[in-house]
Structure 1
Amino acid sequence: MPLNERDRIEILMMIGVGDRMRTQQEVCRLFHEMHPDREPVSQSTVSRIERKYRELGHVRDAPRQGRPKINENVQQDVILSALENPYCTVRQVSRDLNIGKSSVSNIFKKVKYHPYRVRLIHELAEDDFDRRTEFCEYMMDHNNQNNGFIANILFSDEATMDEQLVQLDAIYDLPWNRIGPYLVGAITGYILIVRLQQKLTLTKKQKAFGWTVFPLLNIWILFTLYTRKISVEFSAVYMGVSRTLWGVGMAWVLIACCTGNAQALQKFLSFRGFIPLSRLTYCAYLLNPLVANMIYLGSESAFNASLGGFALTICGITLLTFYLSYLFSVMIESPMILLTKMAFKRITRRTNPRDKPQGEN
């Protein structure tokens, strides 16, 4: 049991003053005789109390630093707020009662209140039970006929897609998930322009090695998930390095074309017919997720997961994406580029008023 202020004063009186001072050992024995039901004090405790009194002139506890404790009235107010409005949030209670959010969370945890999120589910109709029974019988019959039938089904949450969307935001939507290929591209540009100066001589064996390893690497990245029978560990490794390895494979193609080691491919990629499409790529990049979500989420029926169905859908999404990209490019992107060029020309003329076009005296 810790000593309070009264116990410390009593120990000081036992120590005494002048010629009547007792030793620390005698003070410990005397305190134990007066309080046999308590734990005996040590000599270091007596020495610390005496030293504190000589330095500060008192033996009171120093004021504690940090956030003051929340009294019971505030805790009751927080609990009553949750009881009156079960849909309230921690932020709302914190704002209404002028308390920190961490304090509100600690109070809720103390009384075992946990936040929850309301999820909407489909209401069952009268004939849903019969339809589900028929569906189960259909699935069992097909599974008996084909053991791999279940493995070819894309399962998802029947009631909500919240969990899938949360995972999609964590592993796909965040921009820094693509920092790997971005760094590979920056390093490739530095090596190609600064180090190599767009000059690189390769032997036939080196070319054969490059055109074998790097295309196979990109093909592996594209088709290794085809069976979808992979472990969690492999999935984590794949999501971590697949984009970076894809950038490495494309870096080889870029270096080979720019250094004259892939003349046929360079001529094909330099075809002028690709120029109009290349001007639409940025708009297509922005519009493609919107078009895909509009088609998939707007569907009122189930989607048949087959190669033919996927191929047809991909072609439709691609054509629609580039068509909309053309409209957006004509109406928004191209006018903005022209306006930007005109603005920069005016700024350049104002900063250099003495510069005259050639031919003027």
Structure 2
Amino acid sequence: RGRADYFSYYYIRPYCRMGPYIVGIIVGSFLYKTDCKVKINKYLNLLLWLVFATLAVVVLYGLRDPISFPEDALSRDVSALYNATHKIVWGACVCWVIFACATGNGGFMNTLLSWSPFVPLARLSYCIYLSHAMVIFTYYDSQRSLIYLDDLNIIYVFLATLVLSVMVAFVASLSFEAPMMGLEKVIFKRDRRN
């Protein structure tokens, strides 16, 4: 199959995304069983932060040749290995951040991620995730000519997509999520009184 089929035959298939869900379930179960009370030696903690940060950078940027951008840079075997492992490794990296912050081993990263200006974005994050694909597809489907892919165009499209996704998510959250949260509060208040 070609690159055009990647999205529909691989990217959105739930069985191709099972690995990160399993990693998340395992870490969540461990946090639940330990009541988020896990102490890690500070040197081991630092080593784990370095390992998971390195793995995250490798997953994000490890495939790109900084000098050129060849179309067929990866062999079939390397592509298969990357496709089989990159989502699981990324899920493990995210789970490490959650685990470290929840157990008090997050240090500066926990302080940064707990910063109060992130609260509105955190509340919108799921709506942003749901709306960003619609924004991207609307943009690309409306193009009447091919787009030249250079760094500046990619940055421009990324920033525009980010801003539009946040705007769409804000409207969707006010229209659907907020009323449901209000209804949920009313229902659970009645249950508590009974």
Please give the TM-score of this superposition, normalised by the length of structure 2.
0.88
CA drift at 1:342: 2.6
Structure 2 portions without partners, runs of 5+? none
User: Quick check: 1:290 aligned with 2:129?
Assistant: no
Correspondence list, 1:58-77, <5 A: none
Structure number with larger C-alpha Rg: 1
CA–CA distance in structure 1, aligned partners of residues 145 and 92 of structure 2: 40
Match of 2:158 in 1: 314
Q: Which letter maps to 1:179?
A: M
Picking from 17, 21, 26, the partner of 1:187 is 26
Picking from 189, 200, 203, the partner of 2:41 is 203
Match of 1:167 in 2: 6
Correspondence list, 1:26-175, <5 A: 164-175=3-14
After the TM superposition, which of the residue ranges 288-297 and 166-175 deviates more from structure 2? 166-175
Match of 1:226 in 2: 64
Q: Which letter maps to 1:249?
A: C
CA drift at 1:199: 2.3
CA separation of 1:167/1:250 partners in 2, compared to 1, >3 Å: closer, same or farther? closer
Residues 150-183 of structure 1 show CA distances to partners (whole Å, capped at 9, x for unaligned) of: xxxxxxxxxxxx9655432111011222111111
CA–CA distance in structure 2, aligned partners of residues 202 and 334 of structure 1: 39
CA drift at 1:291: 0.3
Correspondence list, 1:209-358, <5 A: 209-227=47-65, 229-346=73-190, 348=191, 355=194
Number of residue pairs matched by the alignment: 188
Q: Which letter maps to 1:214?
A: F
Q: Kindly indicate whether structure 1 or structure 2 has the higher relative contact order, using CA contacts under 8 Å at least 6 residues apart.
A: 2
Q: Percent identity?
A: 30
Match of 1:115 in 2: none
Please give the TM-score of this superposition, normalised by the length of structure 1.
0.49
CA separation of 1:343/1:256 partners in 2, compared to 1, >3 Å: closer, same or farther? closer
CA–CA distance in structure 2, aligned partners of residues 218 and 169 of structure 1: 25
Q: Which letter maps to 2:16?
A: N
CA drift at 1:284: 1.0
CA drift at 1:345: 4.3
Residues 15-41 of structure 1 show CA distances to partners (whole Å, capped at 9, x for unaligned) of: xxxxxxxxxxxxxxxxxxxxxxxxxxx
CA separation of 1:321/1:259 partners in 2, compared to 1, >3 Å: closer, same or farther? same
Return structure 1 stretches of 4+ with deviation > 3 angstroms: 162-167, 343-346
Could you say what secondary structure the match of 1:253 adopts? Answer: helix
CA drift at 1:244: 0.4
CA drift at 1:204: 3.4
CA drift at 1:319: 0.4
Could you say what secondary structure the match of 2:81 adopts? Answer: helix
> Could you say which structure has the higher helix fraction?
2
Match of 2:16 in 1: 177
Structure 1 portions without partners, runs of 5+? 1-161, 356-361
CA separation of 1:243/1:164 partners in 2, compared to 1, >3 Å: closer, same or farther? same
CA–CA distance in structure 2, aligned partners of residues 260 and 275 of structure 1: 20
CA–CA distance in structure 2, aligned partners of residues 253 and 283 of structure 1: 22
CA drift at 1:186: 0.9
CA–CA distance in structure 1, aligned partners of residues 187 and 40 of structure 2: 46
CA RMSD of aligned residues (A): 2.0
Could you say what secondary structure the match of 2:77 adopts? Answer: helix
